[in-house]
Amino acid sequence: MVIVIKNNATEKEISNIIAHLEDEGFKTHRSDGEQRSIIGAIGVKTNFDTRKIKMLDGVADVYRVTAPFKLASRSFKEDNSTIKIKDTIIGGNNISIIAGPCSIESEKQIFHLAKVVAESGVKILRGGAFKPRSSPYSFQGLGIEGLKLIRKAADEFGLLVITEVLQINQIDDVCKYADIIQLGARNMQNFALLKEVGKANKPVMLKRGLSATIEEWLMSAEYILSGGNEDVFLCERGIRTFENYTRNTFDLSAIPVVHERSHLPVFADPSHAVGLRDKIPPMARAAVAAGADGIMIEIHHEPEKALSDGPQALLPEQFSYLMSEMRLIASAIGRSI
């Protein structure tokens, strides 16, 4: 932590600041520059509230140098993390695509879409069995029946399964039928759930919360990592802003920012970020160009009949065209899909 001292601060104020820092357990290092004095505080604690120092007389500003997240940080691990799931690798040079319906609706639907996914060369099938709906009257998912159906469909076409877990008592079932646990935006700060998936032996895709800063998002990843589960990757899915011509605002800049600060792979989900079918391909292309390690896309062959998120589902032919475009962009930046 660095404390910048006000130009007009008195010696008494400066020694008071130093005394406060030492009382909090920091080692201090004062440096008097030509323009202003700075105090370096060494030994910053994860949860230290910098406002305690900022409020002292004579303090101009306080900067935290060490990020509060440790295991997720680039300083903890310089090389990009990769996650191996059967013969698929998440992260690294390859860009992984996840596709499938918003919800698993029936055996016929999930088999139809699993075939589309496999024929597009995609390795990971998505589909929600437990759905986090804004309304309690909306379709809530098929539950365990849905998990069984998506597993069966994925096995038929040699795919991996990713599906969302909403609460602690669903973790065992999700781990039994899925290859990757999805932790959704609404649960990004469900700390009890984060701790439990931290003990699970399945990789976790952690979506960014609806109004979460990147730091809060990485702190949530830290919960999972500190529980012992090292197989975590992130997914940007849009954040809430004042803009309402799109479902959310797609924060494309989160991709390079996360890459700078963390070694964890970062995916993008333009479907939930934008929410409008025709706006999803351009945003997916942009996410590949921005360096995303993976893209998640919702698809449906009968979107008008979909039980959730029909308006944002790409039709199979639109998806397959998007795949060819994303492949071109990936190869232009030296990556592959």
Positions touching ligand PEP (CB under 6 A) are 102, 128, 132, 164, 184-186, 207, 237, 272
> Which H or E run contains 31?
strand 27-32
Closest approach, Cβ 237 to ligand PEP, in A, equals 4
Which of ligand PEP, Mn ion, none binds 231 (CB below 5-8 Å, type-dependent)? Answer: none
Contacts 24+ apart (CB under 8 A), 197-201: 197/165, 197/171, 197/224, 197/227, 197/229, 198/223, 198/224, 198/225, 198/226, 198/227, 198/228, 198/229, 199/227, 199/228, 199/229, 200/171, 200/175, 200/229, 201/175, 201/229
Q: Order of strands, edge to edge, in the sheet holding 37-42? A: 27-32, 37-42, 2-5, 59-63
- Closest residue by beta carbon to Mn ion: 102
Pairing of strands 204-207, 232-236: parallel
User: From the CB of 126, what's the least distance to ligand PEP, in Å?
Assistant: 7
Select 102 or 283, whichever has its Cβ closest to Mn ion. Answer: 102
Q: What does 123 interact with, of Mn ion, ligand PEP, none (CB < 5 to 8 A by kind)? A: none
15 by DSSP, 3-state: which?
A: helix
Residue 102 vs 142, nearer CB to Mn ion: 102
Distance CA 334, CA 40 (A): 42
CA-based nearest residue to 218, from 169, 254, 176: 254
Answer yes or no whether residue 313 interacts with Mn ion by CB under 5 A: no
Binding partner of 91, given ligand PEP, Mn ion, none, CB within 5-8 angstroms per partner class: none
Q: Under the criterion CB under 5 A, does residue 59 sit at the interface with Mn ion?
A: no
Q: Nearest approach, Cβ of 321 to ligand PEP (angstroms)? A: 22
283: amino acid identity, one letter:
M
Residue 288 Cβ vs Mn ion, minimum distance, rounded to whole Å: 20
The token duo for 156 is: 């038929």
What is the smallest separation between the CB atom of 268 and ligand PEP, expressed in angstroms?
11
Instruction: For residues 234 and 78, give the distance between their C-alpha atoms in angstroms, rounded to a whole number.
Output: 17
- At which residue do the structure tokens 């011509």 appear? 245
- Residue 236 interacting entry, from ligand PEP, Mn ion, none, C-beta within 5 to 8 Å by type: none
How many residues line the site for Mn ion (CB under 5 A)?
2
**Integer Cα distance of 282 and 301 in angstroms:** 20
Which of 186/335 has CB closer to ligand PEP? 186
* From the list Mn ion, ligand PEP, none, partner contacted by residue 185 (C-beta under 5 to 8 A by kind): ligand PEP
Question: Which helix (DSSP H) or strand (DSSP E) does residue 268 occupy?
Answer: strand 266-268
Question: In the complex, what is the shortest distance from the CB of residue 140 to ligand PEP, in angstroms, rounded to a whole number?
Answer: 12
* Of 231 and 309, CB closest to Mn ion: 309
Helices 107-119 and 316-332 sit at what angle, rounded to 10 degrees? 30
In this complex, which beta carbon is closest to Mn ion, that of residue 139 or of residue 230?
139
Residue 20 or 207 having the CB closest to ligand PEP: 207
* Least distance (Å) between residue 55 CB and ligand PEP: 37
Residue 97 burial (CB < 10 Å; 0-12/13-18/19+)? buried
x/- track of binding to Mn ion for residues 102-141 (CB under 5 A): x---------------------------------------
The Cα 220–Cα 226 span in angstroms is: 10
> Using the rule CB under 5 A, is 309 a contact of Mn ion?
yes
Q: How far is the CB of 222 from Mn ion (least distance, A)?
A: 26
Q: Provide the minimum distance between the beta carbon of 126 and Mn ion in the complex, in angstroms, as a whole number.
A: 9
- Looking at beta carbons, which residue is closest to ligand PEP? 184
Query: Can you tell me the distance from the alpha carbon of 277 to that of 317, in angstroms, rounded to the nearest whole number?
Result: 13
Q: Which is nearer to Mn ion, 1 or 104 (CB)?
A: 104
CA distance 126 to 128: 7
> Which chain residues interact with Mn ion by CB under 5 A?
102, 309
